[in-house]
Structure 1
């Protein structure tokens, strides 16, 4: 292999910005699993743009969008300013329409007065009647106005200028628009005053007629009431109730007294029956007392009560013996113990002697007990007889009261029929008379008030100052049109579906991202920028390439890959730059690396490394050149290049056959550690699809803000259909803030 000194010198200058240190950064921000074919399913093209998508699209066209937006906004604002009318001055007065609730009788002649809604509608018509407008025109105050002098029909002109609207439930606004506000104010004042006076006169006349009718109705009802009062004979009795309510109250009182008397009578009867039962029970007990037998317990209780000495002694002995038995039972567990049996026999002897004494004294004690019980029964009978006499007296008294109250209630019920009949005739007339008096009183109040229409605000001039409003509307339409144009430009740009960032590649295409490459600064910024900033940018570039290289090498090692093709969907998406950067990074990492320029139709790798175009890959495909003669060294250690050579139709035909290309790669695998193939874009021509069938894996170069998502997706689909392993994508042109990396990490390390 040969190396040109001049080529080394020029290549060093060309690759100065790509040189990298001999260390690598493991992993990347968007690294994924190392499998080259296990890719997520693509989301596909979205038909509805997102806000961030439109914003990113607008950033790419903000100059054009701003220019068009300002142009359209200015045109719209000027057009609105010219088209908007200047407006006229306005004069406004307020009339208050009060509601009315007076009626002659329930259900008669009440609709026009109580239905406020109809009354309001009537006023809006009446104020424009020819009668009112003619009186306004004939007013002395308006005879010298221009409106009256210059108009053939001033009343018609006023009617056309007049506008009415309700600003509140009871407030009607009367307005007039024109160019002479002082004259309009005078006309409107005369109009509302004339309308109020006419309405008040009509209202007063109507109310006086209502009042006369109501007075006559009141006199008629009073006469009917007097006739009924004279015909009612019960009204002459001062003790009789005057109204059904009063009568019902007295009937209720008598009924309450009757219920109380009946309840007391029942209680007396129950008490008397109970006393009779007690007397019978006492007589029965006295009759059976002579033959009554007493139990041993009763005899013993009587003897103990009388403190019989012998029985008291037995009782004391029994208590002592029982205490002794309890003590011995506690001391001896055996119930048959002789000492326990001894006490038990003693207790039995005491009980036997007590029973003998009781039997001996039974006759005397029974005689005494019978005498005592006979005295108790006789005493109780005397007390029961006293209570029975009292109960009998109460029963007689309550029986008489019940009879008297029942008779009184019967009389009141017969009288109540006449009271109710008479009150039924007079009550409706009294109620109607009361209502009529209330209506007459209300009419008197309204007659003194002056009418239902009041002038709440005299005519006020509201001068037209719509310049500010026109400016506001013009500004608003200008801003709106500006935003519309920005949105339209952003949408049209979004429809191109350019790649906005790494997340979009992963989420919308479903493609694995191997790494990212920062955007290249412009030449002007490099010339004018500070040396430290430029050095930091180059360091970030190197680190990004090294990170991508690390991911690629890991994948290649896992999948036993050696020949990697770098391509793109369309031209100008950074594939050649990516190929040279990755190959340079691998070479600086100590790997024998070869770049094969298979972009035969538009080669550029030879210019990048300052090498001749031919001989190269084209001559190898035509079998005009041996592979070893085509490999050319570069200024970068461990890096060689095979240029594209002179392309022709014969070369493309040989490429389609594939035999020479397969032999080329098979021969190169044994001479180099890693081979980077720079190919054509996928979509314009079929060269990449032909080359891809002989490589181990493919990297797709995507340029942010340039590459289009549908085309990238189409390119990946074509590769997948031919079962060409797709390792993933590398996104170029990422906007990076070098200060975000931190000073300790962006500073260049010493050699």
Structure 2
């Protein structure tokens, strides 16, 4: 027995000196070419987790290739059944439809919309949605019935129709059967489908169309009418405010005694001229009186002239400035503005935002600045007048005291007259300022009223513009059911179910993760390839002598022989380097070609003169004895149980072929014997007699027999068949063997040579009888279809 927990050097280090082989390029050649150096076969991640979340299009295509016939057959049957069910069970519908026309450019009387630019498609889709909105449908239920035939049965509104009367949720029922679809660029149709009552269908569609056209389609004009109503109300309100302002203006005019602003200006100008005359007289008399008074009161302290008394002179100058006519006008204006501001502040609540009050305050500031500026300009002028009048002769020959007394009387009268004039002028200026403000407000109101009236006129004119949306065709009572739509529904149902079943079958096959390419083995499973066997065509494995004699059959058997010889070459190389002479050929599950490989490998070793024994350890389903045409009993089972010797169990079917140790009879005692060390001793004895011992085992995953056998061999070769082997199961097999410390030399793949040689692939088996003349053909599969090549 040879059991080692240490892997051979080539297993651990990749064995760069021992190449793996596959069939060379070209469809006719049978030679094997290297596909890569030995690789580190350390356990790789489970293949079942490879590419999680990713879908390989090539793998999907291969899944379809493997199951296309089943998928198409089931899909056609189920799809045809679905189409037939829809055609037979779904009744054809009547279709009632109205057509709506939408002008690409809005109609207008005053404006030229020929260059109007807007997203018409968005506008059209919006209208199609609004045409079937719940608001429209709810309103349509209350529309009166217009069809005379339906009226005769006493139906007054759309909601009374039998088609809707029996529905619990009428609007939901309508939404499920109504649709709006665009026909041409400027048209769309409102449709309703149902299998009965065509008169009611047309009536419902027309009611919906009517509501949409009346309430929504031309809402621009409806909105314009509402705007006109609001603008008229606003215009009337402004007219009333204007009238009120004009009445106040007339009242102020009567109080001022004028009828217009021109008369007011003339009246103020005349009053100013008369006041100026009075002020000139008062000015002259004041200067004369002061001069006389000063001359009578001359003392040594005061001086000889008016210029020598600066305090009296300053008071006189200030008095004369305040009596100046223009200064009086400015003062009166300032007082009037201040009175107006005070009145507004007492009456208005919002004193910060009132426009009239803001204007008055600005005018007050401007007037105050004008008064200050004029006072500075007037002061040197008055001083000059005082100096000039100081040298004038005294008037008359009356004594100075009497002259002063007369002048005082005159000045008093002039002062009283000027004071009265000032009071009157202050009232006039105040009223005139208020009059100006009222006139400004009235002018603004009149301008707004005119603007509103112009807008009203424009909107009234636009009401005569053509509608942008119109009903091109009202719905008519349908007479023929829509069979074409039923055909389409049936076809869609059939195609949908067909596609669903095809996709489901292909998807389940894809999830099986069957091995399709060499990359699945070298990359996905991290196994080196010892050889690649072509998939033999069905006719090449026929038993008939006619098939044997053909050149094509001879060619395919030659290709198979050379492919097996390549794997043999790698095995012999490993035996020379690592003393690997007891080799088990295994697989993850049945049907992966392990018996095929073991039989061919043993025959190839014997053909080159190697003393070889083929041991059948597939106790539950033995086939080696049938392939080589030997008796099944006694076999390895009997040797293990001690009922037969090795010499009795080993058969030699031919001189140039391998010796065969059949499996023998399987029973429950055999499993207990396998668990003992008897098998290891048998293998040690066989290794002494033979150069190579090739063991055909049972599948690794279904039963434990192969694992118990594997513990006593030097190494294991895995058989992998395209479209049969599955990556997760092969990976599980590799991992189980690794846990037992059994080295895996690599894999021999069957049917995966298409990437290098272009050989045809499929499920075809190998005819051992036709090759060796044993009269038995093992595990023949159906002839491959063209899609599997």
TM-score (norm 1): 0.54
CA distance in 1, matches of 2:604, 2:463: 104
SS of residue in 2 equivalent to 1:72:
helix
**Higher RCO (C-alpha 8 Å, min separation 6):** 1
Shift of 1:658: 2.4
Shift of 1:221: 1.6
Shift of 1:678: 1.7
Name the counterpart of 1:522: 538
Contact 2:533–2:749 at 8 Å: present in 1 too? yes
CA distance in 2, matches of 1:51, 1:594: 43
- Mapped pair 1:575 → 2:581: no
Shift of 1:479: 1.8
- Mapped pair 1:550 → 2:554: no
Shift of 1:564: 0.7
CA distance in 1, matches of 2:566, 2:431: 118
Shift of 1:696: 0.7
CA distance in 2, matches of 1:182, 1:679: 76
CA distance in 1, matches of 2:149, 2:450: 53
Distance 1:180 1:453, change over 3 A: farther
Shift of 1:460: 0.3
Shift of 1:544: 2.7
Name the counterpart of 2:71: 65
Match of 1:698 among 716, 730, 738: 716
SS of residue in 2 equivalent to 1:521:
coil
- Mapped pair 1:440 → 2:453: yes
CA distance in 1, matches of 2:587, 2:720: 7
Contact 1:54–1:487 at 8 Å: present in 2 too? no
CA distance in 2, matches of 1:723, 1:221: 111
Name the counterpart of 1:118: none
Shift of 1:563: 0.9
Deviations 1:255-290 (A, max 9, x none): 9xx9xxxxxxxxxxxxxxxxxxxxxxxxxxxxxxxx
Name the counterpart of 1:90: 97
Shift of 1:692: 1.9
- Mapped pair 1:688 → 2:719: no
Match of 2:745 among 718, 727, 745: 727
In proportion to residue count, which structure has more helix?
1
Q: Which of the two has higher C-alpha Rg?
A: 1
Name the counterpart of 1:470: 486
Contact 1:499–1:704 at 8 Å: present in 2 too? yes
Name the counterpart of 1:658: 677
Contact 2:614–2:660 at 8 Å: present in 1 too? yes
CA distance in 1, matches of 2:508, 2:201: 57
Name the counterpart of 1:585: 604
SS of residue in 1 equivalent to 2:758:
helix
Distance 1:183 1:472, change over 3 A: closer
Shift of 1:547: 2.9
Contact 1:57–1:490 at 8 Å: present in 2 too? yes
Contact 2:107–2:468 at 8 Å: present in 1 too? no
Contact 2:245–2:441 at 8 Å: present in 1 too? no
Shift of 1:66: 2.1
Match of 2:733 among 707, 710, 715: 715
How do 1:101-180 and structure 2 match up within 5 A? 133=144, 145-153=148-156, 179=198
CA distance in 1, matches of 2:159, 2:99: 19
Name the counterpart of 2:15: none
Shift of 1:639: 3.5
Contact 2:192–2:201 at 8 Å: present in 1 too? no
Name the counterpart of 2:44: 40
Shift of 1:186: 13
Deviations 1:676-714 (A, max 9, x none): 122233344443233222211111223333344454444
CA distance in 2, matches of 1:655, 1:593: 23
Contact 1:567–1:679 at 8 Å: present in 2 too? yes
CA distance in 2, matches of 1:631, 1:194: 99
Deviations 1:599-626 (A, max 9, x none): 3444322322233334543454455666
SS of residue in 2 equivalent to 1:544:
helix
CA distance in 2, matches of 1:472, 1:719: 58
CA distance in 1, matches of 2:97, 2:739: 78
Deviations 1:83-102 (A, max 9, x none): 26503322356799999xxx
Distance 1:207 1:721, change over 3 A: closer
CA distance in 2, matches of 1:518, 1:179: 69
Match of 2:444 among 431, 437, 443: 431
Distance 1:98 1:531, change over 3 A: same
Name the counterpart of 1:561: 580
Contact 1:74–1:478 at 8 Å: present in 2 too? yes
Shift of 1:596: 2.4
How do 1:308-457 and structure 2 match up within 5 A? 424-447=437-460, 454=467, 456-457=469-470
Shift of 1:579: 0.6
Q: Which runs of 5+ in 2 are unaligned?
A: 1-28, 109-132, 165-170, 270-355, 374-428, 761-789
Match of 1:598 among 605, 611, 617: 617
Deviations 1:229-269 (A, max 9, x none): 986998766999xx999x99xx9xx99xx9xxxxxxxxxxx
Name the counterpart of 2:239: 218
Contact 2:161–2:200 at 8 Å: present in 1 too? no
TM-score (norm 2): 0.52
Contact 1:506–1:512 at 8 Å: present in 2 too? yes
CA distance in 1, matches of 2:473, 2:648: 103
Contact 2:92–2:482 at 8 Å: present in 1 too? no
Contact 1:563–1:676 at 8 Å: present in 2 too? yes
SS of residue in 1 equivalent to 2:615:
strand
CA distance in 1, matches of 2:541, 2:474: 65
SS of residue in 2 equivalent to 1:29:
strand
CA distance in 2, matches of 1:58, 1:189: 51
Q: Which runs of 5+ in 1 are unaligned?
A: 1-22, 100-120, 259-415, 743-751
Match of 1:483 among 499, 502, 524: 499
Contact 2:137–2:208 at 8 Å: present in 1 too? no
Distance 1:38 1:449, change over 3 A: closer
Distance 1:737 1:690, change over 3 A: closer
How do 1:168-317 and structure 2 match up within 5 A? 179=198, 211=232, 214=235, 217-218=238-239, 221=242, 224=245, 228=249
